[in-house]
């Protein structure tokens, strides 16, 4: 089956899925670099790939993928299991899927909307197709392998579900993932009054992102690419993080850490990173415990990320660890509340310079569109010293305890009604969608 090309102007709401459309890649669209994808046919036999992915990254049959308890009752999984139990093929592969249309392209691949062949189910999936020959020429095969390894182990309500993984002739690698029909958080923000979210909506999206980061860090994974374009919106309005090719794989040792509440003001209502706002904590006799799962040993010297979201240690060329995710989390909160990032300059160089040297400031009218707790949380997350940054030592436990999230039951986030539930709304024009430069200098 030949797949027609789709221009940016023809892409519907599905193309706003940035893991699925990855509109943030450096160098812009991948249409020219991956033009052969437009003629991709899955009617042929899935022959052995001309290039091998790095060791340990061989395709897995759907039946051999780890169980996904959080999504096991999903109709999309039921359709996959039905396909396997029918004995049509021992392993799911190219012949089992019918490509509907191309929905986007990114730095390491192109994404197609697809469905199972000869199935009565209306379930659709997102298939990310990677040209291994093209990536080998750009020395980016390991990035694709990293993303696939991470997708295989994820099992979380706010992270992607991997349904199938296989090679396609002559030199393509394919992963079939969950499809999000609601676009991404960046586009959704542009549809809000004054291009910003309310404090309540920001708290909702921040809480779900925080839970996803907590899970990734528990697995020893430093995300390194947090931004609104990579936060997809499911059909029910909840979020899903995407794009893991820039992630850093490390290890973490989850522990129950004992601390004195008098020394951890984060667990009190008067917690503040701003000295004159902080009151003297009241000492309690009973020690407290908190769950800490932070990959504190993770270290990398790679210069990766999106300019407006990179931490000072990355912008200055120093080694970095998991604290970069908490910096990016602070930038995300700032953008959702104030419709811009805090250190954006006239070009990429000035943006990086501002990140390293410029002090954090808030818009003059910030008090009218945000709470003091929100501003304080952002201040704590955007400390330029990674060792002092909120979350760098106690991980998500420190961030959850901030008064900005007071009264929020993190365990029941899936039961909360999202601020926006996607409807049949025409996608924003291509001009409205920002394409920030994404870099990966190794």
CA 68 to chain centre: 19
Set 225, 243, 245, 376: catalytic member: 225
How many CA atoms are closer than 13 Å to the CA of 30, on its beta-carbon side? 26
Q: How far apart are CA 107 and CA 33, in angstroms?
A: 9
Beta-carbon contacts of 194 under 8 Å, excluding residues fewer than 6 positions away, are 339, 369
Beta-carbon contacts of 120 under 8 Å, excluding residues fewer than 6 positions away, are none
Structure tokens at 138: 């750009």
The secondary structure of residue 184, as a DSSP letter, is B
Query: Quick one: residue 49, left, alpha or beta (phi over 0 = left, psi -120 to 50 = alpha)?
Result: beta
CA distances from 31 to 17, 83, 109, 187, 259 (A): 17, 33, 10, 22, 53
Structure tokens at 25: 């890649």
CA distances from 408 to 160, 197, 271, 401 (A): 24, 18, 17, 10
Of the candidates 65, 255, 242, 277, the residue with the CA atom closest to the CA atom of residue 158 = 242
Are 171 and 46 in contact, with CB atoms under 8 Å apart? no
Structure tokens at 44: 């042929």
> Using H for helix, E for strand and C for coil, what is the string for 296-348?
CCCCECCEEEEHHHCCHHHHCCCCECCHHHHHHHHHHHHHHHHCCCCCCCCCH
**Beta strand pairing call for 172-177 and 221-222:** unpaired
Whether 225 sits among the annotated catalytic residues: the reply is: yes
Kindly list the catalytic residues: 225
């Amino acid at each position: 089956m030949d797949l027609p090309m789709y221009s940016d102007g023809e892409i519907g709401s599905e193309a706003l899925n940035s893991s699925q459309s990855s509109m943030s890649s450096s160098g812009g669209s991948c249409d020219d670099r991956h033009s052969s994808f437009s003629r991709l046919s899955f009617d042929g036999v899935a022959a052995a790939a001309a290039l091998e992915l790095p060791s340990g990254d061989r395709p897995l049959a759907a039946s051999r993928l780890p169980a996904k308890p959080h999504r096991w009752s999903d109709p999309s999984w039921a359709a996959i299991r039905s396909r396997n139990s029918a004995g049509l093929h021992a392993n799911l592969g190219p012949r089992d899927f019918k490509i509907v249309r191309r929905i986007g392209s990114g730095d390491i691949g192109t994404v197609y909307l697809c469905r199972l062949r000869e199935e009565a189910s209306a379930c659709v999936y997102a298939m990310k197709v990677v040209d291994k020959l093209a990536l080998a020429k750009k020395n980016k095969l390991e990035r694709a392998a990293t993303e696939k390894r991470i997708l295989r182990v994820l099992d979380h309500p706010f992270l992607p579900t991997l349904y199938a993984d296989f090679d396609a002739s002559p030199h393509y690698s394919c992963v079939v993932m969950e499809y999000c029909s609601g676009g991404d958080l960046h586009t959704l923000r542009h549809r809000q009054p004054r291009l910003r979210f309310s404090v309540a909506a920001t708290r909702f999206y921040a809480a779900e992102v925080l839970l996803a980061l907590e899970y990734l860090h528990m697995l020893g994974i430093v995300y390194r690419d947090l931004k609104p374009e990579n936060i997809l919106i499911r059909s029910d309005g909840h979020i899903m993080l995407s794009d893991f090719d820039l992630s850093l794989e490390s290890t973490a040792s989850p522990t129950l850490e004992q601390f004195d509440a008098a020394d951890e003001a984060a667990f009190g209502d008067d917690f503040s990173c701003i000295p004159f706002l902080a009151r003297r904590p009241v000492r309690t006799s009973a020690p407290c415990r908190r769950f800490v799962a932070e990959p504190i040993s993770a270290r990398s010297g790679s210069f990766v990320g999106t300019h407006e979201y990179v931490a000072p240690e990355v912008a200055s060329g120093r080694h970095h660890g998991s604290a970069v995710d908490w910096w990016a989390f602070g930038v995300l909160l700032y953008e959702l509340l104030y419709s811009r990032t805090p250190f954006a300059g006239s070009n990429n160089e000035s943006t990086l310079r501002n990140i390293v040297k410029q002090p954090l400031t808030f818009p003059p009218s910030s008090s009218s569109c945000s709470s003091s707790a929100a501003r304080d949380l952002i201040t704590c997350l955007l400390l330029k010293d990674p060792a002092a940054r909120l979350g760098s030592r106690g991980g998500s436990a420190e961030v959850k305890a901030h008064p900005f999230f007071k009264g929020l039951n993190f365990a029941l986030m899936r039961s909360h009604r999202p601020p926006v539930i996607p409807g049949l709304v025409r996608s924003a024009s291509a001009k409205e969608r920002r394409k920030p430069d994404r870099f990966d200098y190794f």
